């Protein structure tokens, strides 16, 4: 069965954890529009679990304030460009320590867990559907990176 690259990627991302990772990346890419310029530096979308978006907030006062705007934020998230209606039904705000991006990247590199053999086999099996060797390798690298990010988020 021959599939296009888009179909192969869509098949892999259709699984719930990967779909949530894709949704989270869309939210992060549009976060300034969703939350507003004044709050973008003190908030950060962390993960999606059971239709709930977890948002890190630098201070409890911001978390309390944002609770009043939860319904408005849910409407913005329901945009077809971001998540579609009903994909996110709740937002939980958590106070977390904020560090700069350079520190976060350094920590991730030091504690990067290895992908399981089973996960690598799934990537290889899915990649077998792609005929072009260069495209196949690019797809496999993309999936390894994506699954690594998922593992990092689930820690």
Determine contact, residues 21/146, Cβ cutoff 8 Å.
yes
Q: Rounded to an integer, what distance in angstroms lies between the CA atom of residue 17 and that of residue 49?
A: 8
Q: Which helix (H) or strand (E) holds 126?
A: helix 117-127
Q: Rounded to an integer, what distance in angstroms lies between the CA atom of residue 69 and that of residue 17?
A: 27
Q: Rounded to an integer, what distance in angstroms lies between the CA atom of residue 70 and that of residue 75?
A: 9
- As given in the structure block, the two tokens for residue 117 are 């053999």
Q: What is the pTM of this model?
A: 0.58
**What does the pLDDT profile of the chain (155 residues) look like in tens digits?**
566 776 666 666 666 567 888 888 889 999 999 998 889 989 999 999 999 999 999 989 999 999 999 999 999 999 888 887 888 999 999 998 876 554 344 444 544 456 677 777 777 777 777 777 777 777 777 777 777 776 666 66
55-62: long-range contacts, CB 8 A cutoff, minimum separation 24: 55/91, 55/92, 55/93, 55/94, 56/94, 56/95, 56/96, 56/98, 57/93, 57/94, 57/95, 57/96, 58/95, 58/96, 58/97, 58/98, 59/95, 60/95, 62/93
Strand partners, 55: 45, 93
């Amino acid at each position: 069965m021959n599939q296009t690259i888009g179909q192969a990627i869509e098949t892999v991302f259709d699984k719930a954890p990967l779909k949530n990772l894709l949704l989270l990346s869309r939210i992060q890419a549009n976060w300034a529009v969703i939350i507003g310029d004044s709050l973008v530096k003190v908030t950060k979308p962390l993960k999606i679990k059971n239709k709930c978006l977890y948002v890190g907030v630098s201070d409890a006062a911001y978390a309390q304030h944002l609770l009043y705007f939860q319904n408005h934020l849910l409407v913005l998230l329901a945009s077809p460009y971001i998540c579609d209606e009903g994909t996110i039904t709740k937002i939980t705000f958590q106070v977390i320590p904020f560090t700069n991006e350079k520190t976060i990247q350094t920590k991730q590199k030091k504690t990067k867990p290895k992908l399981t053999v089973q996960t690598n086999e799934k990537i290889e099996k899915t990649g077998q559907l792609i005929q072009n060797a260069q495209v196949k390798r690019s797809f496999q690298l993309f999936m390894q990176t994506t699954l690594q990010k998922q593992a990092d988020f689930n820690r």
